[in-house]
Chain A
Amino acid sequence: MTFWETVTGSDITREWNAFEARAEALPTDHRTAWEEIKDHLSTYSDFTGRNLTPILDAALTLLEETAADGQGIHEVLGDDVKGFCAALAGGERSRDYRDRWREQLNRNVARKLGRLGG
């Protein structure tokens, strides 16, 4: 099972299938970018991935609009797909699972230290 499937509840599978159907219609370069965008955005996922649906929709809409304009993917996203995804997801301050791991680690360390310190 992929990470994608793991986080996807069956109720939103339909929505995500619709995304894939839309992505199918994109030119090759845009479709490649779509795969890359999904990859980057997955780090911003909450437990179920539901928070990603509107963000993915926004990204896909941009790809569709720019493909219709005949813009090359480099004109659209430049070199920084990761930065684009971060901005789409609400900026670098938006919480991703790395933040949650970090928090968890900090909590555990604090608890252990508290125990040691008595």
Chain B
Amino acid sequence: MDDLTEMLKGTLEGCVLEIIGGEETYGYAITRRLNELGFADVVEGTVYTILLRLEKNGLVQVTRRPSGLGPPRKFYALNDAGRERLAAFWAKWEYVTSRIDKLREDGR
């Protein structure tokens, strides 16, 4: 599906939080996961800026680990604040999707 970017904008942070919540991981792996899910337009730069923001807002715990090639990689795990934010994201998601579904059903 093309041109999902606009629609995804508000939800991508939640998606990234969910992926990190599953297991400690790093930027490239997160991007690949999103691509596999079908969000082909998501590039690493986008994920990277989200990760920086999560870090700045104190929602993740960051560990630097040496990688085979290049500079040490940053691995991200959720801290308590991150888990709270993720729960809030899913609550908002439920609300929005239920309202939009209702709109569609009423229209039919």
Contact = CB atoms under 8 A, between A and B. Distances in A.
Interface in B54-108: 67, 69-71, 73
Contacts of B45: 62, 76-78, 84
Secondary structure call for the A interface = helix
A88 B52 contact: yes
Interface of A: 58, 61-62, 64-69, 71, 74-78, 84, 87-88
Contacts of B8: none
Contacts, number: 48
Secondary structure call for the B interface = helix
**Chain B interface size range:** 10 to 19
Contacts of A68: 67, 69-71
Given A71-B44, A75-B44, A66 B52 contact: no
A77 B70 contact: no
